[in-house]
């Protein structure tokens, strides 16, 4: 990997953790106490050719950082590692007929709006399912968890898509 890319991704990592911890963890939607999980954008936009071990290690430290700052017990870590583990399969499922140029960074500019929306929805949905199931750790509140997952997926996906237009412009 190029040193410029490493520095850019390191700055992005810390920026997303700070945005999540300082700004977004204090936002609460309705009485359900739902906050968006914007930090997973880091895993979503890593280049397609990133190695599996680096993807999982990055996800582990991303989730761990958020867990440490928010004083949660490995909930973010498990959910983030889970989506990093499933990311190659999701990318393969969404693969166009002629394949990908593996140096591409997933994003609206590089792979199109429709592709990125499907990709983001799947990844965010899987993250939120694992996050809220682990957080609740009970089927007693299944309907409430389902409502939280739905609202949170919509809110998180919207923020991630908006970020593609305004904050994180592709090369």
The domain locations on the chain are 3-166
Distance CA 74, CA 87 (A): 20
The mean pLDDT value for 94-100 works out to: 75
Confidence of residue 102 (pLDDT cuts 50, 70, 90): low
Per-residue b or e along 121-153, where b marks 16 or more CB atoms closer than 10 Å to that residue's CB: bbbbbbbbbbbbbbbeeeeeeeeebeebbebbb
List, in sequence order, every residue forming a beta bridge with 29; answer none if it has no partner: 34
What is the 8-class DSSP label of residue 93?
H
pLDDT at 79 over 90: yes
Pick the CATH number of 3-166 from 1.10.730, 1.10.1760, 1.10.3470, 1.20.120: 1.10.1760
- Place 147 in a pLDDT band, splitting at 50, 70 and 90: confident
Q: What is the pLDDT of residue 171?
A: 45
Q: Are the CB atoms for 106 and 44 separated by under 8 Å?
A: yes
Nearest to 59 by CA among 162, 131, 108, 145: 131
pLDDT of the residue at 2:
76
Find the mean pLDDT for residues 145-159.
89
Q: Which phi and psi (to 5°) does residue 65 adopt?
A: -60, -45
Nearest to 109 by CA among 38, 40, 41, 171: 171
Task: For residues 5-9, give the mean pLDDT.
Answer: 85
What pLDDT does 140 receive? 74
Give 12 or 5, the one with higher predicted confidence. 12
Above 50 in pLDDT, residue 170?
no
Interatomic CA distance for residues 7 and 23, integer angstroms: 23
């Amino acid at each position: 990997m190029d040193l410029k890319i490493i520095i850019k991704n390191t700055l992005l990592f810390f920026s997303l953790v700070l945005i999540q911890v300082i700004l977004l963890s204090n936002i609460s939607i309705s009485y359900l106490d739902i906050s968006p999980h914007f930090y997973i954008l880091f895993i979503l936009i890593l280049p397609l050719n990133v190695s599996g071990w680096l993807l999982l290690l990055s996800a582990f430290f991303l989730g761990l950082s958020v867990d440490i700052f928010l004083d949660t017990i490995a909930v973010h870590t498990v959910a983030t590692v889970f989506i990093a583990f499933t990311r190659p399969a999701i990318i393969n499922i969404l693969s166009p007929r002629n394949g990908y140029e593996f140096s591409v960074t997933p994003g609206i500019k590089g792979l199109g709006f429709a592709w990125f929306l499907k990709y983001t929805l799947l990844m965010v949905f899987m993250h939120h399912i694992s996050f809220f199931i682990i957080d609740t750790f009970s089927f007693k509140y299944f309907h409430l968890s389902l409502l939280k997952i739905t609202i949170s997926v919509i809110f998180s996906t919207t923020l991630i898509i908006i970020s593609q237009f305004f904050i994180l412009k592709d090369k």
